Structure 1
């Protein structure tokens, strides 16, 4: 009976999933993601095309379309599309960049933070993070005061003016979110959200622990 063959095939997929996760307890979402990838089939022509590429240097092109490299390349493209949409949305507001917006959104959910905490949460380097903070203070969108427990540090928090600006921008940022997710179906969006959240959990842990600080760290991670 075909149903028994299907059950056997599903059990084999569960076994494969457990092997790929090195014994980590897997979830229904993990299995769903694997099942979607298997039903969709192997990488097809969609993943082997890029209108930016010409016909020369076939070795370089093969490297660009290698699975991990292709994922990285597409992440770069997506981030640049998102940046351009966000820039258009912020036009006419006191906010200049996406980093301004995310810094404000983070501060909105905290009573106050240190500058170092905000820069870390906003995934920025210290220099660029401090520039964002200076710009927002100058615009009256956030405020700072001395940290009573650390004379060298400052507390920062969003101002009432900052809240008003942020809530106004929230509405228009909803249009950016819909544009970024494009023409994906609801189920495709949920699957993408699950995968992106897994990647975020992975990278945020490395970010917090500062495990990747040099290119040698990247190379050593690849060997693990």
Structure 2
């Protein structure tokens, strides 16, 4: 039995259900699903070169992508600042670091800082603030007592849980008007980009050499 094929069909049915629930264009049966699938395949095969700001000025696609990513980052920061304005958090980085510790588990200071793509000095300030507030703590392992790890505390888990609704609102705001299939496509594209760039940051290269090394890799 081809389980991969079954999984793919189930995912398509889920996409159909979510999109049709929002727009109710097709009948909620096999015929409606077949019509939706035919239309989706046809529109996908007939994709045209999209329009974008600056296209008339002949801005290259890489410049446009970089500009749009910067704009998305600024939107996210603006929404995050709004969500924590009346909370106990000093910055959105407090939340991001706590989520990393909750999802991944204990790690060294530098592992936590690198995971969140920050300079060492800025990362240390955030970690110290988390420890000072009792949201994180330093521990040592039995194998290597010289190595200290940072882990989230029960208080940190509690304060994070209290604000998950607001965090969720920011995530939904950033997704905007993308439907489920568009979200999956964006995740795939951004994950590929993230994997590419993450390799260089984990090498801990000097800032002045970083851009040159990335550029050499591309050429």
The two structures have a TM-score, normalised by structure 2, of 0.70
CA offsets, 1:107-143, max 9 Å, x none? Answer: 1134422111111112211111101001111111111
Deviation at 1:184, TM superposition (A): 1.7
1:20 maps to what in 2?
none
1:102 maps to what in 2?
96
1:218 maps to what in 2?
214
Q: Structure 1, unaligned stretches of length 5 or more?
A: 1-31, 50-57
Deviation at 1:103, TM superposition (A): 0.8
Aligned equivalents of 1:86, 1:39: Cα separation in 2? 38
CA offsets, 1:22-45, max 9 Å, x none? Answer: xxxxxxxxxx9xx84x6331142x
CA RMSD, 1 decimal: 2.6
Deviation at 1:93, TM superposition (A): 2.3
Q: Structure 2, unaligned stretches of length 5 or more?
A: 1-39
The two structures have a TM-score, normalised by structure 1, of 0.68
Three-state SS of the structure 2 residue aligned to 1:163 is helix
Deviation at 1:147, TM superposition (A): 5.5
Number of matched pairs: 175
- 1:56-95 aligned at under 5 Å gives the runs 62=58, 65-95=59-89
Three-state SS of the structure 2 residue aligned to 1:155 is strand
1:48 maps to what in 2?
54
Aligned equivalents of 1:172, 1:80: Cα separation in 2? 18
Runs of 4+ in 1 over 6 A off after TM superposition: none
1:144 maps to what in 2?
138
Aligned equivalents of 1:131, 1:216: Cα separation in 2? 29
